Amino acid sequence: MRGVQGQQQRFERQAKGPFLPTEILHTRVLIVGAGPVGLALAAELGWRGVACSIIEQSDGVIHHPRATAVNARSMEFFRRWGVADLVREAGTPPNFPHTVLFVTSLQGFEIARIERPGHGGTRPTETSPERPQRCNQLWLDPILRDLASGFSCVTLRYRWRFESFIEEQDGVLATVRDLASDDVRTIAAEYLVDCSGGHSAIREFLGIAMMGTPDIDYHLSIFVRAPELWKHHDKGKAALIHFIAAQGPRRNLVLLDGRELWRFGVTGKEFYDDPERADANRLFDEVAGAATPREIISIRRWSARDVVADKYRVGRVFLAGDAAHLNHPDGGFGLNTGIGDVADLGWKLSAVLEGWGGAHLLDSYASERRPVGVRNVRQAEENLQIKKRRPTEPAIADDTAEGAEARSRMREAILRDSLRNYVTDGTALGYCYDPSPICWDDGSPPVADTITEYRPSSRPGSRAPHAWLADGRSTLDLFGRGFTLLRVGDDPPAPDSIAAAFARRVPLSIEQIREPLVRSIYERRLVLVRPDGHVAWRSNDLPDDPLALADRVRGAA
Ligand SMILES: Cc1cc2nc3c(=O)[nH]c(=O)nc-3n(C[C@H](O)[C@H](O)[C@H](O)COP(=O)(O)OP(=O)(O)OC[C@H]3O[C@@H](n4cnc5c(N)ncnc54)[C@H](O)[C@@H]3O)c2cc1C
């Protein structure tokens, strides 16, 4: 950074009104927004020992539920940060079935059900040491907050609002307001990360457009307490219940705590336009029956958009999470995509701030993560279109032969085309940074990008696959703060030339793995894994030019 004095003079020239800053607060990375994505970035940076500040305009108390579905990839990052157990325990109890149920109403007819044996609980799947979990932000955000604020290099300030910034050659100066005192302050940082959500003013200020389908759907979200709801109907326990009426699938119930808390979703512009007039109890009666005990806790409205920012970076400012991409919640991608963003950005910021990241490393954030944002948003949009295209016959809820036939046709359609909404292992684990400026393309053909099923691959750009090691660890437990060179099998080449090339500046650990399963999954005798657990390079032989490899993967080539 330039001298503090220079910065202060510059800011004072810009500041207007009575709020002249008295001191400049310094940090290396300023994160705006302490939603799950900002908190996860602070945790990732804190875990790497990078000084950062995170400011949040609210008091941080989550009053109303949003995301619940946490995919296996996010769980893997939580595992790395040591909070996977907390997330598992805070969410839906391990023995609660993650069943998706389609009914006319809880007192009416069952249409279809999708079981998800690979979700929830503690038993790992074959493809990950972690399973997808259900942990609403009511509990997830506080876990991430405690994690982030537990690092001494992280400063977390609630009720501080970001107002504006200027960028200088070697940093940004942000103007923020302490909402408790109404004081205006300046924070000087080397980088600014916008995690301020879908209505980001930073994105707007930078003139970054959101590309895609704006305002596709309008909803009410009703937070309900309905203790042991399953005792008041005959359909059994389910984590997600969709109600299909003659007008189509316009209501759903999302299980939150496995005991009594639910998010009741109601689609319709008429409700969105006038939430005050929505009779939540009557709407709940229609799906659950008037005799079902319930208490309406809170009501919010929200609209769904399927859009992606056309830039993820402008100068020293990066966009992550909902600030960068927004999607319809069908599929459960928003928060999970955001966690993936910051796992990618975190190590790159850290590498540059530590001095070993090359000049192009930070550019690779956008080239790697924006295509993932586009892919996931497109998938959510397709899910919605499939649902909308599925015709609902007027007799669907009738207790007649015609009604039974309509339900049977609906059941067939749901089972044919809906699994992709609820089982997304391929989406969660199978994304590949291809092409990537910091991975070494080995010319192997791409692995098909699938939705429901994940196909392990060590192709450069892929998430390095999971396999259990003899000592009970997952291969994923080997990856972390620096690069990891896996020497796979009994006779991999000696790694000396790679170690020497990396020793110049790039942190590298070397692991010898002999387990036969790892050999078959990893496909090569040498596999170089990045700090975020993605494969950077692989080969059966030593690289011709180890220095060129080191420079490529650290973004200096
Ligand atoms: C009904 C619903 C269900 C969903 N279900 C799922 C799901 O199952 N799985 C999933 O992955 N995703 C789901 N999502 C999406 C998920 O909730 C979001 O993707 C996620 O919350 C985004 O996190 P974020 O941190 O990027 O943004 P946000 O959670 O929006 O956080 C942004 C924060 O920035 C703060 N902020 C804004 N401006 C400023 C400022 N100027 N100064 C300081 N602070 C500021 C805000 O107060 C806010 O706290 C769902 C969304 C909805 C609406």
Ligand 1, atom nearest to 37 Cα:
25
pTM: 0.95
Ligand 1, atom nearest to 322 Cα:
26
Q: State the pLDDT at residue 4.
A: 31
Distance 40 CA to ligand 1 centre (A): 12
Residues 6+ apart with CB under 8 A from 61: none
Residue with CA nearest ligand 1 atom 27: 197
Distance 157 CA to ligand 1 centre (A): 17
The model's pLDDT over 152-196, given as tens digits with 9 standing for 90+, comes to 999 999 999 999 999 999 999 999 999 999 999 999 999 999 999
Do 510 and 401 contact (CB within 8 A), yes or no? no
Query: Which residue carries 């090569």 as its tokens?
Result: 524
Give the three-state DSSP class for 527: strand
Residues with CB under 6 A from ligand 1: 32-38, 55-58, 66-69, 161-162, 195-197, 201, 221, 302, 321-322, 329, 332-336, 338
- Nearest-angstrom CA–CA distance, 427 and 425: 5
- Residue whose CB lies within 8 A of the most ligand 1 atoms, among 59, 322, 336, 379, for a mutation test: 322
Q: Return the bridge partners of 511, or none.
A: 486
Ligand 1, atom nearest to 195 Cα:
26
- Residue whose CB lies within 8 A of the most ligand 1 atoms, among 44, 66, 158, 272, for a mutation test: 66
Residues 6+ apart with CB under 8 A from 309: 203, 208, 209, 210, 211, 319, 323, 324, 325, 370, 373
Q: State the pLDDT at residue 22.
A: 60
Residue with CA nearest ligand 1 atom 20: 335
Give the three-state DSSP class for 283: helix
pLDDT (mean) for 462-482 = 96
Query: Which residue carries 């259900």 as its tokens?
Result: 134
Distance 141 CA to ligand 1 centre (A): 10
Query: Between 203 and 505, whose confidence is greater?
Result: 203
Stated length of the chain? 557
Query: Which residue carries 């005990």 as its tokens?
Result: 293
- Nearest-angstrom CA–CA distance, 162 and 299: 27
Ligand 1, atom nearest to 176 Cα:
42
Distance 236 CA to ligand 1 centre (A): 31
- In this structure, how many other beta carbons lie within 10 angstroms of the beta carbon of residue 259? 14
The model's pLDDT over 62-95, given as tens digits with 9 standing for 90+, comes to 999 999 999 999 999 999 999 999 999 998 999 9
Distance 320 CA to ligand 1 centre (A): 11
State yes or no: pLDDT of 10 exceeds 60.
no
Ligand 1, atom nearest to 196 Cα:
34
- Nearest-angstrom CA–CA distance, 509 and 486: 9
Distance 460 CA to ligand 1 centre (A): 31
Distance 436 CA to ligand 1 centre (A): 28
Distance 66 CA to ligand 1 centre (A): 8
Torsion, Cα 178 47 68 89, to 10 degrees, reads -120
Distance 36 CA to ligand 1 centre (A): 7
CA distances from 44 to 249, 345, 418 (A): 39, 9, 34
Residues 6+ apart with CB under 8 A from 127: 72, 425, 429, 454, 456, 465, 466
- In this structure, how many other beta carbons lie within 10 angstroms of the beta carbon of residue 3? 8
Distance 50 CA to ligand 1 centre (A): 24
Ligand 1, atom nearest to 304 Cα:
53
Ligand 1, atom nearest to 163 Cα:
41
The model's pLDDT over 406-451, given as tens digits with 9 standing for 90+, comes to 999 999 999 999 999 999 999 999 999 999 999 999 999 999 999 9
Tell me how many degrees the CA angle 471-477-478 measures, rounded to the nearest 5: 90
State yes or no: pLDDT of 12 exceeds 60.
no
Distance 197 CA to ligand 1 centre (A): 5
Burial of 268 (0-12, 13-18, 19+ CB in 10 A): middle
Residue with CA nearest ligand 1 atom 11: 335
Residue among 424, 425, 443, 423 at smallest CA distance from 434:
443
State yes or no: pLDDT of 545 exceeds 80.
yes
Distance 326 CA to ligand 1 centre (A): 9
Residue among 138, 127, 122, 44 at smallest CA distance from 84:
122
Ligand 1, atom nearest to 60 Cα:
49
- Residue whose CB lies within 8 A of the most ligand 1 atoms, among 330, 335, 421, for a mutation test: 335
- Residue whose CB lies within 8 A of the most ligand 1 atoms, among 30, 138, 196, 422, for a mutation test: 196
- Nearest-angstrom CA–CA distance, 29 and 189: 5
DSSP string, 104-124: S-TTS-EEEEE--TTSSSS--
Ligand 1, atom nearest to 323 Cα:
26
Residue with CA nearest ligand 1 atom 4: 67
Burial of 231 (0-12, 13-18, 19+ CB in 10 A): exposed
Distance 322 CA to ligand 1 centre (A): 6
Distance 74 CA to ligand 1 centre (A): 15
The model's pLDDT over 358-390, given as tens digits with 9 standing for 90+, comes to 999 999 999 999 999 999 999 999 999 998 888
Residue among 328, 266, 34 at smallest CA distance from 156:
34
Q: Which two tokens stand for residue 151?
A: 């690092």
pLDDT band at 8 (very low <50, low <70, confident <90, very high): very low
Longest dimension (CA), the chain: 82
Q: State the pLDDT at residue 124.
A: 84
Residue with CA nearest ligand 1 atom 5: 67
Distance 24 CA to ligand 1 centre (A): 29
Residue among 548, 553, 550, 513 at smallest CA distance from 530:
553
pLDDT band at 7 (very low <50, low <70, confident <90, very high): very low
Q: State the pLDDT at residue 468.
A: 95
pLDDT (mean) for 220-229 = 98
